[in-house]
């Protein structure tokens, strides 16, 4: 472990520069995951497809597949080295997407780009290598959510550029930022001196990552093509891969994830993260649907108004940064388990407010801001909780599991909500519309996820306080 004399114990110019580099890395992640949504209609027209799932979710699914392997490799070979590699892969994937002439070549590029998703948890691990435990919690909040500030201007910039230069401009910008990030990381961040001697269970990593991606892929496609369809093959293949991984993990001496050594607090943390972040992401998806319907249509909901989308999606970017920073600061006093529980409680209140906010723009904006605070709090607290539970030599693996849960929760709850809407749609004046029952059922699904996450978060707080008082207040 690094000498305590080499760790940052307070803010200084060098730490500010290093944090700026790490925030830039997570801006690259944004350009991979969210920026393509801005030009999604153009991409659908270009490739002649009406299946946005392949264009949108492929990078996030690939991120879930990449994460376990990259997490273990980072522990063995160094986090900075792996962070540079993920950024290089992200740049290469952006290049493939830019020149792709067919849908499947484009999807291949998105899968390669998905390696950038691993960059988020690697930046968290690097923060732990740079900073003393207490300041590390605050820095983690800033690094994991600071990139959201750019989310305020990105939609306007990319929308304008895409009208002038086409959808490819998004991937050009993403590739340039990835290259710049790789260079800055290589020359301005130190390599971790912490190593985990041993071998990498590549077969286990491929089984785990591939199994997760296949199962989540089935959920995404099943909601659109039907649960009993050729997509069912993905579920069967994913289940077989996960079963193979489980058997392998029990037999090999150094599994990619040591199942028997996870511990109850970490398992509870991962469950809270998957439910909480999934519920938040599903509500975010709902806002775009609500903003497309006018209350005058008489459907029982609707928020369409001048500037509605800007209010619903622009204001939350501030809340994400604020939530992450405050969660990091509070964790130094009350512990990350408590801040994680607080984030879930805030999300539950916001989601309940949406039952009345589906037709009142002002209330919906308030709920959106509260949910953005929830998002920043959950992500920061999830990573901080995992960091204090994991020993230094396992930071990469444990942080990767948090990233996997974020990806799975986001995809599963989004598509589960979409399935609820599809099953309750109604015909109005010859067109298919989402019914009020479907919208309220959608919100009910998110509410249920937050309630379940709240129960698990309460168990986590009690477990942590009972087993390790020092961890409860954030001392690793």
- Domains of the chain by residue range: 1-199, 201-255, 257-476
CB 24 within 8 A of CB 83: no
pLDDT in tens, 215-248: 877 776 666 666 777 778 888 998 999 999 888 8
- The predicted pLDDT at position 1 comes to 47
Element (H, E) at 146: none
**Per-residue pLDDT for 57 more than 70?**
no
- The predicted pLDDT at position 400 comes to 84
Highest-confidence segment of 157-171, 282-296, 406-420, 449-463: 449-463
What is the rounded distance in angstroms from the CA atom of residue 369 to the CA atom of residue 362? Answer: 11
Spatial neighbors of 10 by CB under 8 A, at least 6 apart, are: 135
Mean pLDDT of 336-364: 94
Q: What pTM, to 2 d.p., does this model score?
A: 0.83
Confidence class for position 476, pLDDT limits 50, 70, 90:
very low
Mean pLDDT of 259-270: 86
pLDDT in tens, 20-33: 999 999 999 888 87
Mean pLDDT of 273-293: 85
What is the rounded distance in angstroms from the CA atom of residue 239 to the CA atom of residue 71? Answer: 22
Average pLDDT, the chain: 84
- The predicted pLDDT at position 337 comes to 94
Which superfamily does CATH assign the domain made up of 257-476 to? MFS general substrate transporter like domains (1.20.1250.20)
**Per-residue pLDDT for 474 more than 60?**
no
What is the percent of the chain with per-residue pLDDT over 70, rounded to a whole number?
A: 92
Long-range contacts formed by 38-43: CB under 8 A, 24+ apart: 38/154, 38/155, 38/158, 38/159, 38/162, 38/170, 39/158, 39/162, 39/167, 39/170, 42/162, 42/166, 42/167, 43/106, 43/167
CATH code of the domain occupying 1-199: 1.20.1250.20
What is the rounded distance in angstroms from the CA atom of residue 206 to the CA atom of residue 69? Answer: 7
């Amino acid at each position: 472990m690094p000498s305590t004399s080499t760790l940052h114990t307070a803010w200084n110019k060098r730490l500010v520069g290093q944090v700026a580099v790490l925030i830039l890395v997570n801006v690259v992640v944004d350009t991979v995951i969210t920026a393509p949504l801005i030009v999604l209609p153009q991409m659908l027209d270009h490739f002649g497809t009406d299946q946005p799932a392949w264009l949108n979710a492929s990078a996030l699914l690939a991120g879930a597949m990449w994460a376990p392997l990259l997490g273990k490799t980072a522990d063995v070979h160094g986090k900075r080295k792996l962070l540079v590699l993920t950024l290089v892969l992200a740049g290469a994937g952006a290049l493939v997407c830019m020149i792709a002439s067919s849908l499947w070549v484009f999807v291949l590029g998105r899968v390669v780009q998905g390696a950038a998703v691993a960059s988020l948890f690697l930046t968290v691990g690097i923060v732990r290598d740079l900073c003393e435990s207490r300041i590390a919690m605050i820095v983690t909040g800033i690094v994991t959510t600071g990139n959201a500030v750019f989310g305020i201007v990105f939609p306007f910039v990319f929308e304008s550029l895409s009208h002038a230069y086409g959808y490819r401009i998004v991937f050009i910008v993403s590739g340039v930022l990835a290259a710049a990030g790789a260079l800055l990381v290589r020359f301005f961040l130190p390599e971790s001196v912490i190593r985990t001697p041993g071998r990498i269970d590549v077969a286990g990593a491929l089984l785990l990552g591939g199994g997760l991606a296949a199962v989540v892929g089935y959920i995404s496609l099943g909601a659109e093509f039907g649960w009993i369809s050729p997509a069912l093959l993905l579920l069967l293949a994913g289940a077989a891969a996960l079963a193979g991984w489980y058997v392998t993990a029990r037999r090999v001496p150094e599994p990619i994830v040591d199942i028997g050594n996870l511990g109850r607090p970490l398992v509870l943390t991962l469950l809270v993260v998957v439910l909480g972040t999934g519920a938040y992401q599903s509500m975010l998806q709902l806002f775009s649907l609500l903003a497309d319907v006018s209350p005058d249509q008489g459907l029982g909901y609707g928020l369409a108004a001048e500037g509605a989308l800007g209010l619903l999606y622009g204001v939350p970017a501030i809340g994400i940064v604020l939530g992450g920073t405050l969660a990091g600061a509070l964790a130094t006093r009350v512990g990350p388990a408590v801040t994680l529980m607080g984030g879930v409680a805030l999300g539950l209140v916001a989601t309940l407010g949406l039952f009345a906010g589906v037709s009142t723009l002002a209330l919906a904006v308030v709920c959106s801001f509260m949910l953005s605070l929830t998002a920043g709090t959950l992500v920061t607290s999830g990573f901080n909780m995992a960091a204090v539970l994991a020993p230094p030599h396992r930071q990469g693996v444990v942080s990767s599991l948090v990233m996997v849960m974020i990806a799975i929760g986001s995809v599963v709850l989004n598509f589960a909500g979409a399935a609820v809407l599809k099953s309750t749609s109604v015909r109005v004046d010859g067109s298919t519309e989402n019914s009020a029952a479907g919208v309220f059922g959608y919100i009910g699904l998110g509410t249920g996820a937050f309630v379940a996450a709240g129960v698990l978060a309460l168990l986590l707080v009690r477990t942590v306080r009972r087993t390790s008082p020092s961890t409860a207040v954030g001392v690793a």
